[in-house]
Amino acid sequence: MAEEAKNLETARADRSVWLMKCPTVVSRAWQEAATAAASSSDAAAGANPNPNPVVAKVIVSLDPLRSEEQQLQFKMEMAQTGKGNTPKSYSLNMFKDFLPMCVFSESNEGKLACEGKVGHKFDMEPHSDNLVDYGKLCRERTEKSMIKNRKLMVLVNDNGMSMRPLPGLVGLMSSGPKVVSFIAMPCLMYFFLCW
């Protein structure tokens, strides 16, 4: 039960980081880009590869004529989109009120580090330019979830002789065969015979 003490690296603890809540499509695209960068770095080990690939760019729009709350607008454009109708640009909605948080990481060797304090918190949603593509993506996802993965099978030995008796029916055996009950279940139908 006793855990060993570990050191926490705090060299980057004062750095300001952003916390973003992103759709699964975006996180999947970012993970694929990181995996591709890691595999290319393994292939070109001596060529000094980039371990942090560019996955998106953030465009900050400043309108001095608007109120202070609406002055800054953030838009993110993906560097590369995945397959299908993945939206390329997203609006970032910034939250002003959130609890103070820090970001921690753990390396493959088990070293713990504080990566920074959360300075801004954002929610991502598809930009109005991409609503048609996003609608297609949602429609594809809905159609994919409606596909039934159940299969209908015909039982070869459907007379029930190979089935063992149920625990409650062992003492109810009579001398002649007769149907006692019929139970319909979603996949199978059972006839209980008493002898």
Annotate 59-106 with DSSP letters as a single string. Answer: EEEE-TTS-TTTSEEEEEEESS--SSS--SEEEEEEES-----EEEEE
Quote the pLDDT of residue 114: 92
Question: CB 117: neighbour CB atoms within 10 A?
Answer: 15
Any idea how long the chain is?
Answer: 195
| Closest CA relative to residue 195, chosen from 170, 171, 176 | 176
Work out the end-to-end distance of the chain between its first and last CA atoms, rounded to an integer number of angstroms: 58
Model confidence, pTM: 0.55
Quote the pLDDT of residue 113: 92
**Ranges of each domain in the chain:** 8-42+50-145
Q: How far apart are CA 123 and CA 166, in angstroms?
A: 55
Divide the 195 residues of the chain into consecutive groups of 10 and give the mean pLDDT of each group. 74 89 83 79 59 81 76 81 71 84 88 90 81 78 81 67 59 50 43 40
Quote the pLDDT of residue 184: 44
Quote the pLDDT of residue 78: 84
